[in-house]
Amino acid sequence: MTSGHGTDVDVALVGGGGAAHCLLHALAAAGVRVSVAVLDPVSHTGNDRTWCFWDGGTSPVEPAVRRRWSRLRVVGPDGGARELAPVSYAMVRSADFYREVRQRCAPPAAGAAGAAGPAVRWMPASVRAIRPVHADPPAGPGEGGKRPGETVAPASPGQPGQPAPSGQPVGLVGQDGPDTGGVVLDTDAGQVTARWVFDSRPRPPDRPGTTTLLQHFRGRWLSGAGLDPAAATLMDFTVPQPESGLAFGYVLPVDRHEALVEYTVFSRSRLAPADYDAALDRLCDRLGVAGAIVESIEDGVIPMTDGRFARRVAPHVYRLGTAGGATRPATGYTFATMLRQARVVAARLAAGADPVPPRPYPARHLRYDAILLRAIDRGLVDGPRLFTELLTRHPPDRILGFLDGTSTRRDEARILAGTPIPGMVRATAGWLAATARR
């Protein structure tokens, strides 16, 4: 895997989080024999996030599933609780998933027969530039910034609307050039040459959207909660609401002892830390778990935008995860789509085909999301009431298929017919006008 010029691999994964682990899992499951370098200055092994998704009751990552619920509860603004059942709602904690993938990809013990699958090298390195094999390295500081004819595009900024993390300027050089058959990654640990590169580092959309919100949240992992584990609460709208957007409580009781209690907001900007804590205190009081022990805290921000994310950015260079559009704009759900895309990419690599990730969601679903985001952001609809009715007025398979991007046009027509028509018409007109001006 190492040559005189650095490390040579079939596949380089830039960013070693959830999207990279989904692709590694798919490669191992399909027995694809490729050499892989995972490049990330951070070692992803702990519980840095919790993923949830719907499925038919079994998942390709079933050994990593911590808990399943067959009943989901929605609590409306009036405090009335309604149930979605039967469903299969799965929870995966990142530490369990990372462990499962690393075990699958671990080299065989000495003397043991090698299992089919990827040969993985974990490299704690930051990527400074990605360029075709025959392109010159980008000019350094004081050398003019870039050479004539080169394109240097940011490739690793932070959250939408925020600058890149300090010390991590990254460029994609010569992205419009010819296909040279390989890619060089300049890292702080030396050069890596790869046939294919999959980049999952967070970045803003390649084409800005007409609406951009953030799904931001703080959650408490509690012990001694004593909640009924038979049902999870998907949305509880009795929590404090922001001036614009919406907020809800999210409650996942793993068992009688352990639970995640979370306060989630859809809005344009984050709250002060004290505001999350005050809302969580109120929610915990209402649930009767104020005396439970807080074992850990989860904080996060997920972009919600109708902007477009490129899946292929240069010959042999692709994007995965949120950076490649895997996050559903109107809900923030990502994990099931990452798994779905990873299986296709693995199959294409095995077949020697172009491994471009498939489209994450049908175009019409992205249009629905763009209109819904606009309606919520502009206050054209009552967000808590809209979500409560969407989730409880339809059979679970219909609404969950709609949220997952797998519904039929007939089901979509039934769902859309039950939305607040005046507000959604205004949102549609505004979105069409804004799109026409771009």
Asked whether the whole model's pTM tops 0.85, one would answer yes
What per-residue confidence (pLDDT) applies to 161?
A: 34
Per the CB < 8 A criterion, the answer to whether 189 and 3 are in contact is: no
The two tokens of residue 183 are 């890619």
Supply the pLDDT for residue 23. 98
Task: Please count the other Cβ atoms lying within 10 Å of the Cβ belonging to residue 67.
Answer: 18
Distance in angstroms (rounded) separating the CA atoms of residues 422 and 386: 13
Residue-level pLDDT at 222: 98
- The confidence score (pLDDT) of residue 133 equals 87
Tally the C-alpha atoms within 13 A of residue 87's C-alpha that lie toward its C-beta: 28
Determine whether 432 is exposed, middle or buried from the number of CB atoms within 10 Å of its CB (0-12, 13-18, 19+): middle
**Identity of residue 239:** V
Alpha carbons 404 and 414: distance in angstroms, whole number: 16
φ, ψ at 377 (rounded to 5°):
-65, -40
Enter the tokens of residue 437. 């001006």
Q: Which residues of the chain have pLDDT under 50?
A: 1-4, 141-177
Pairwise CA distance, residues 212 & 278, whole Å: 26
* Residue that the structure tokens 């951070």 belong to: 42
Q: What is the pLDDT of residues 43-79, one digit of tens each?
A: 998 998 999 999 888 899 999 999 999 999 999 999 9
Q: pLDDT digit string (tens) for 324-349?
A: 999 999 999 999 999 999 999 999 99
pLDDT for res 139: 57
* Alpha-carbon span 101 to 97, nearest angstrom: 6
Q: Residue 186 half-sphere exposure, CB side, CA atoms within 13 Å?
A: 19
